[in-house]
Amino acid sequence: MIGLDKAGAQRGRRWIFTDISFMLEAGRILAVLGPNGRGKTTLIKALAGLVPLAAGRRVAPRVIGYVSQSIGADIPYRALDVVVMGRARGLGLFGAPGAADYRAAVEALELVGARDFAERPFDRLSGGERQIVLLARALATGSPALVLDEPASALDLANQNRLLTVLREVKRQGRHAILFSTHLPQHALSVADDALLMLGPSEHSIGPTRAVLNEADLMRLYGLRVRRVTLDNDGCAPIETVVPLFAGAGP
């Protein structure tokens, strides 16, 4: 279980967010949405224990599987070694990873479909490949909670799909509570059970994804007209998505 209880965070005297409460259980995904500067990253870091709360409390396991926005492309290690770094907290000050730690790292890479990356230099991987490896590192911590700060922000469409597929598989296994922030409502509709809209410092909406991501609230959130549409999926279950109506679009 991971969550916040009547939580608030400040920058100086300014409230970034106030009175946010939720509890996320294993096997469920919560997506956090909001425009730039609305406090998504502050909330993510507070949940990960990296930013102190000014009000309320945080409920979390001792270790969090955390993936930040910064990919760290210049890390000159094998991808396997980057994943093993996720085991560091259990090694002690002068401890070195052992066989069990490397087995856990390989299992995490296999779970995200990146076993073939193990011996490749991390700084030679593409942005999408590095993000998948960092997700494996978060899984290798052994934490039941994964907290991801805009994990798809630098990814092309194919790698966005790959990341969402991995998140869907991790959710299916039911061992992790997963929270991620995103600018893309369609990602929330694709994998999240619940969504949190950060409408203002003291205003937010949280609940089942399909109820919360309604057109009216999304237009308030982004100041842009949008449409919720259902698309045929070649005989599979229909797909719900959000289409932004950009100004001046069209021929």
pTM: 0.90
Domains and CATH numbers, the chain: 2-213 (3.40.50.300)
User: pLDDT at position 66, please?
Assistant: 93
Position 221 confidence tier, pLDDT thresholds 50, 70, 90 = very high
For 52-110, the pLDDT digits (tens) are 999 999 999 999 999 987 666 677 889 999 999 888 765 555 557 788 889 899 999 99
Residue 192 has pLDDT above 90, yes or no: yes
Residue of 3, 175, 145 whose CA lies nearest to 62: 145
CB–CB of 188/160 below 8 Å? no
Residue 208 has pLDDT above 90, yes or no: yes
Residue 246 has pLDDT above 90, yes or no: no
DSSP string spanning 215-230? HHHHHHHHTS-EEEEE
For the segment 16-28, the average pLDDT, to the nearest whole number, is 96
Position 153 confidence tier, pLDDT thresholds 50, 70, 90 = confident
Residue of 122, 22, 123, 20 whose CA lies nearest to 80: 122
Residue 3 has pLDDT above 90, yes or no: yes
Radius of gyration of the chain (CA): 19
Considering the chain, what is the average pLDDT of its residues?
A: 90
User: pLDDT at position 75, please?
Assistant: 74
User: pLDDT at position 98, please?
Assistant: 80
